[in-house]
Amino acid sequence: MLAASGGCARDGGDFLAVYAQAERGDVSFVRVFAPNSVVDRKTAGIVVGFWAAVMFTLWAASPFATLPTPKDIWVALSDLWWNQGLGPELFTTIRLITHATLITSLLALLLAYATVVPFFRPLVEGASKLRFLGLTGLVFPLTLLTGGGYALKVALLTFGMASFFVTSMAEIVLEIPRSEFDHMRVLGASEPVIVWEVVVRGTLDRALEVLRQNVAIGWSMITMVEGISRAEGGIGAVILNENKHFKLAEVYAILIVILIVGLAIDYAVGVFRNIVCPHARLGKVVR
Amino acid sequence: MSIPGASVGEVVLAVEGVKLRLGETQILDGVTFDVRDRIRVDAVTGQVVALLGPSGVGKTRLLRIIAGLDPPDAGTVRGVKGESLPAGTVGVVFQDYPLLRHRTIDDNLVVAGRIGGLEREGAEKRAKELLETFGLADRASFYPGQLSGGQRQRAAIAQQLVVPRRFLLLDEPFSGLDPAALEDVSKLIVDVANLDELNTIVVITHDIRAAMSVSDSVYMLGRDHDGEGRIIPGAKIQATYDLVDEGLAWQEGLLENPRFVALEKEIRGRFREL
């Protein structure tokens, strides 16, 4: 019994010693596996590279006949880009998401900021609850309202994004600590100045983060929305056409494009947020 | 044992019969005290008043009422010559040293100046002066999130002083400070008070020693007890100490003075009963 406890303590001691070394960064390899440890950029890059290589190898060696090889997808992508006008279709889609995002941001931010006025709170609460409505049932009434086509797609995307945007932003506004308002009051600020400084400017970084999440929601809906009215084209219309003809390599190629563009938009919004709100990075925990 | 050449002048702050009830609980029950202008020959002397009381007694509630942030259920708060003190006329530095986190320290001060009615140029000039005075000139372009606790506190005090104010309320300014920082803050409080004869700083704290070392008067806020020792809700001023009358204000080396130590012991004993 005594020997067992001693062994245990020794093992624990060894582990702690290695862990301490890992924490100090003496053993960079071990550090990657140490819980809660911080790794430098280079190490993080190596870890990302490792996982990317693993995934790519699994993909290339996949026995599933329904999963095209990387080469098949590359050939399909080249054909789509150079011969089938994927570029202009992508532009159409980006224009659509940009248009819908601008309208969503304007509407949602106005509604969220309106929560500072008690009179508007039920309205904002109601708008927020609309997120539980599915888009499918709304296609018909929105078609009648907008006349279909591009306007319908903008309306659907806007509806889909705005209800979530309002929910998140209204919560952020309602959670502003009372002390921030009091701080401005003791400085002698009027209520409109307090709203501008504390509610609008003070939450801008969080608003941009919510925007980032909502653009991602919108982007994930894009193929469905573009499929509703295909006349104007767009990457969603293209993928549905390729689906219809069971061109798997083309479908996967377009999926990869959707993923890459989605990530690029997400990154761009993140960079914009850091430029406009440099203070937002201060509270970020680096791991 | 009063300090030679010291006298008192007009009332600069009068708190009279302030009552506050929150739900079923009486928080403040007739808080009454006044602060008079301290006069010293050949020296500009502002007032520093310590409001002592145990946690949860209602100190911060009283601070909010004095600052004009909350109305009392009864009673009044008046300034020099009986003027009312609406929100914005009394500077307050809350315990968490609030600053606009999305603005740099320099900008925080400029915004305070603009709100207080200064032109942009004037506000920038004043901000620069204050940042130098408070030893923050090299932190002007930093955001609040980049400052240490002590720097943040100084910035928060500086922000309240961009526009001249007679009153400054400090909520727990000594909380969590190391001895060196505590000395710095104590000196800062006295320096700010002495910028103008009518300046009045009310320090709300439960740190008895630190409060006594900077103040000219100490007010103890507490609740009564019934015959069986149970607390009767509703705080009021239970004791007042005039440190100038005691000869224990405005001096170096006070902390080692035996009379200061004896008074501190007395106040500490009284504090336990509040």
Q: Do B94 and A183 touch (CB under 8 A)?
A: yes
**Residue A9's pLDDT band (cuts 50, 70, 90):** very low
Rounded average pLDDT per 10-residue block, chain B, 274 residues: 73 94 93 91 89 91 95 95 91 92 96 95 95 92 92 91 90 84 86 88 91 93 88 92 88 85 91 83
- Please name the residue ranges forming H helices in chain B: 59-66, 105-115, 120-133, 149-160, 179-193, 208-214, 258-272
Residue B47 · residue B35 · CB < 8 Å: yes
Q: For residue A59, which amino acid is it?
A: W
Select from A183, A198, A200 the residue whose CB has the most chain B CBs within 10 Å, as the one to mutate to test that interface: A183
pLDDT tens digits for range A209-259: 999 999 999 999 988 899 887 878 899 999 998 988 889 999 999 999 999
Cβ-Cβ contacts under 8 Å for A223 (sequence gap 6 or more): A235, A236, A239, A240, A258
- pLDDT at residue B61, rounded to an integer: 94
Instruction: Determine the Cα–Cα distance for residues A123 and B169; give it in Å rounded to an integer.
Output: 39
- pLDDT at residue A283, rounded to an integer: 63
**Does the pLDDT of residue A1 top 50, yes or no?**
no
Contacts of B90 in chain A (CB under 8 A): 186
Across chain A, what does the average pLDDT equal?
87
Contacts of A282 in chain B (CB under 8 A): 143, 145-146
Per-residue pLDDT, averaged over A95-124, amounts to 95
- pLDDT at residue A6, rounded to an integer: 41
- pLDDT at residue B230, rounded to an integer: 87
- pLDDT at residue A42, rounded to an integer: 87
DSSP state of B46: -
- pLDDT at residue B195, rounded to an integer: 87
Q: Do B94 and A182 touch (CB under 8 A)?
A: yes
Q: The whole model's pTM is what?
A: 0.81
Among all residues of chain B, which has the CA nearest to that of A188?
B88
Q: Do B102 and A188 touch (CB under 8 A)?
A: no
- pLDDT at residue B34, rounded to an integer: 92
pLDDT tens digits for range A200-217: 999 999 999 999 999 999
- pLDDT at residue B40, rounded to an integer: 85
Contacts of A196 in chain B (CB under 8 A): none
Query: In chain A, what percentage of residues exceed pLDDT 70?
Result: 88
What distance in Å separates residue B146's CA from the closest CA in chain A?
7
- pLDDT at residue A223, rounded to an integer: 87
Per-residue pLDDT, averaged over A70-88, amounts to 93
Select from A186, A197, A279, A281 the residue whose CB has the most chain B CBs within 10 Å, as the one to mutate to test that interface: A186
pLDDT tens digits for range A132-190: 887 778 888 888 998 888 999 999 999 989 999 999 999 999 999 999 999 999 999 99
**Does the pLDDT of residue A3 top 70, yes or no?**
no
Q: Do B101 and A278 touch (CB under 8 A)?
A: no
- pLDDT at residue A17, rounded to an integer: 62
DSSP string, chain A: -HHHHHHHHHHHHHHHHHHHHHHHTSSHHHHTTSTT----HHHHHHHHHHHHHHHHHHHHT---TTS--HHHHHHHHHHHHHHS-HHHHHHHHHHHHHHHHHHHHHHHHHHHHGGGSGGGHHHHHHHHHGGGS-SGGGHHHHHHHH-SHHHHHHHHHHHHHHHHHHHHHHHHHHTS-HHHHHHHHHTT--HHHHIIIIIIITTHHHHHHHHHHHHHHHHHHHHHHHHH--TT--HHHHHHHHHHTT-HHHHHHHHHHHHHHHHHHHHHHHHHHHHH-GGGGTTPPP-
Q: Domains in chain A, ordered, with CATH? A: 2-60 (no CATH), 70-281 (1.10.3720.10)
- pLDDT at residue A58, rounded to an integer: 92
Query: In chain A, what percentage of residues exceed pLDDT 90?
Result: 61
* Integer CA distances (angstroms), B28 to B81, B87, B191, B201, in order: 25, 20, 31, 21
Among all residues of chain A, which has the CA nearest to that of B90?
A186
- pLDDT at residue A2, rounded to an integer: 39
**Residue A15's pLDDT band (cuts 50, 70, 90):** low
